[in-house]
Amino acid sequence: MKILAPKILAIESSCDETSCAIIDDKGTIDAHIIRSQIADHQKYAGVVPELAARKHLEICDILVEETLDNAHCSADDIYAIATTAGPGLIGSLLVGMMVGQAYAQAWQKPFYSINHLEAHALSPTLNSDITFPYLLLLVSGGHSEFIYVNGVGDYQRLGKTIDDAAGEAFDKAAKLLSLPYPGGPHIEQSAIKGNAAAYDLARPMRHRQGCDFSFSGLKSDLRRQIMHHQQSLNRQDINDYAASFQQAVCDIMVDRAKNAIVLCPQKPQYFVVAGGVAANQTIRTSLQKLANENDMLFHAPPIELCTDNAAMVAWAAQMRLKNGLDLSFHPARPRWALDELK
Ligand code: KG4
Ligand code: ZN
């Protein structure tokens, strides 16, 4: 018997967001909850893996129950359970996997291990008209990569960071400027009142072949210039450094994106940007301009689907199910490249 609109319940816990969602095969989101641990990690100015795992453990099963309540669903309404199996922080992943498997076993439902990068890669197609192939720039605290998304299960990574992720660079720069964690939004706010041409900061990899990124040289240059600053930084200095830093990141991204577009095996219609850094308005505007100059349409998913969330995990499971792709069990793993899914 064919099940009409099978619902999948998904769990995401690969980093510092605990999230649970229920979605049907059309992409209707019955319920979606995201709980961020930012407040717990703020005083350490970064995610502490051990703490993250403990915080997931405290709320993961409660979140599943809340999500079921919000969707007015019971076990009988759920077709399968999907959980992010990697890549990510191993302790955090294990919590989500354990909770997901426990529910699957208790309810006698199929259990699907989902690749977190595939979930990000397919998230732009959730509730939008975007068609394959598209070029995705995924920029967050953990990732900075260009992915050519040819179809479900068919991905080609065109380039990646060789050191820090873009969001990590924002966070480290914020720390150097004594701005709070996570740094991205604070740098953006501060930059509004700053002069982006005040400091000439390094733009590593610019004009190089390919579309790999490097951000650690930019951060080191910022640190060096701050150290050589004549007096202690005043408010305006901080704003000027923030604006100059943001401009450098922007220039690097546009330069790398130009090459990524050329490297696509087939000219995609869409340029999509996702991940926490995609919230940055200056970066969005620059990438949109580049996309338009290249006769491409620009798309950025709504922010709650752009950052880590369980809706994208449920949607990736739905897409694999619809396309008859492998959904067999994979244990939690900190590294799991997209190319391995082929
Ligand atoms: O996708 P995300 O919420 O979580 C993971 O990385 O898993 O991304 C968080 C990252 C942080 O490094 C944060 O500083 C950065 O995204 N971020 C931003 C902005 N908002 C968040 N970076 C630049 N500008 C922003 N407005
Ligand atoms: Zn992510």
Per residue in 137-157, pLDDT tens? 999 998 999 999 999 999 999
Write down the pLDDT at residue 1: 58
Which residue's CA is the closest to the ligand 1 atom numbered 22? 184
Burial class (CB in 10 A: 0-12, 13-18, 19+), 198: middle
How far does the centroid of ligand 1 lie from the alpha carbon of residue 185, in Å?
8
How far does the centroid of ligand 1 lie from the alpha carbon of residue 168, in Å?
8
**Does ligand 1 lie within 6 Å of residue 268's CB atom?**
no
What would the mean pLDDT of 18-23 be, rounded to a whole number?
A: 98
- 2 band by pLDDT with thresholds 50, 70 and 90: low
Q: Looking at the predicted structure, is the pLDDT value of residue 338 above 90?
A: no
Per residue in 33-72, pLDDT tens? 999 999 999 999 889 999 999 999 999 999 999 999 999 9
Express as a percent the part of the chain with pLDDT over 70.
99
What would the mean pLDDT of 266-272 be, rounded to a whole number?
A: 96
Indicate which atom in ligand 1 lies nearest the CA of residue 307. Answer: 1
Residues surrounding ion ligand 2 at CB below 5 Å: 308
DSSP-derived letter for residue 232 is: -
**Does ligand 1 lie within 6 Å of residue 88's CB atom?**
no
What would the mean pLDDT of 224-244 be, rounded to a whole number?
A: 96
Q: Looking at the predicted structure, is the pLDDT value of residue 3 above 70?
A: no
Neighbours of 60 (CB within 10 A): 23
Write down the pLDDT at residue 259: 98
Angle at 319 between CA 35 and CA 294, to 5 degrees: 90
**Mean pLDDT of all residues belonging to the chain:** 96
pTM of structure:
0.93
CA separation for the pair 199, 237 (Å, rounded): 10
Residues 6+ apart with CB under 8 A from 165: 139, 140, 141, 142, 143, 144, 215
* Least reliable range by pLDDT among 115-119, 255-259, 279-283, 301-305: 301-305
CA separation for the pair 245, 188 (Å, rounded): 10
Beta bridge partners of 35: 18
Peptide bond into 185 cis (omega under 30): no
CA separation for the pair 149, 316 (Å, rounded): 13
Q: Looking at the predicted structure, is the pLDDT value of residue 231 above 80?
A: yes
Per residue in 204-224, pLDDT tens? 999 999 999 999 999 999 999
Phi-psi bin for 5: left (phi > 0), alpha (psi -120 to 50), beta? left
| Segment holding 107, helix H or strand E | helix 90-107
**Does ligand 1 lie within 6 Å of residue 309's CB atom?**
no
Per residue in 109-139, pLDDT tens? 999 999 999 999 999 999 999 999 999 999 9
**Does ligand 1 lie within 6 Å of residue 279's CB atom?**
yes
Q: Looking at the predicted structure, is the pLDDT value of residue 342 above 80?
A: no
Write down the pLDDT at residue 340: 86
Indicate which atom in ligand 1 lies nearest the CA of residue 182. Answer: 14
